[in-house]
Amino acid sequence: ERRPKPITPHDLKRHLCIQNMFPSGARYAWEFQKDGQSVSFHPTGPLSLDDHELMVEAALSGVALAYVWENRVQKQIAGGELVQVLDDWCQPEEPLYLYYPSRRHLSAGFRTLINAMKAQAR
């Protein structure tokens, strides 16, 4: 609220931004694309998280900007709790795919995961 809304990914340098991490500890960049131009932004903020739900909670608390999948924050955006920025720089999310070697002899747990993913995709 105290800083101007970013217009380009380069404007993010003026904001506190959450560093996205893999569970391994490796950090990954925020990726943007517009009119054939690609930009990778590497946040240097004081907060690093590997859980999107925690990132959303931090953003809701006003701690920092978060880079999360849009479907995770649709309700908060619709309710005015969060504001989407750089939406013209964000490409549509590609669907996730699950590849596995065979449909025979799947464990019950893995079959449950597959069924849950299919139900979520609908």
Instruction: State residue 86's pLDDT score.
Output: 95
Instruction: State residue 29's pLDDT score.
Output: 93
Region class of 57: left (phi > 0), else alpha (psi between -120 and 50), else beta? alpha
Give the 3-state secondary structure of residue 112: helix
Summarize pLDDT for 32-58 with one digit per residue, the tens.
999 989 999 999 888 999 999 999 999
Architecture of domain 9-89: 3-Layer(aba) Sandwich (3.40)
Q: Which residue matches tokens 């924050």?
A: 73
Phi, psi of 34 (to 5 degrees): -155, 135
Instruction: State residue 84's pLDDT score.
Output: 94
Residue type for position 63: V
Please tell me the distance from the alpha carbon of residue 27 to that of residue 48, in angstroms, as a whole number. 8
Which regions of the chain are under pLDDT 70? 94-96, 103
Contact 15, 3 (CB under 8 A): yes
Instruction: State residue 95's pLDDT score.
Output: 67
Return the domain boundaries, the chain: 9-89
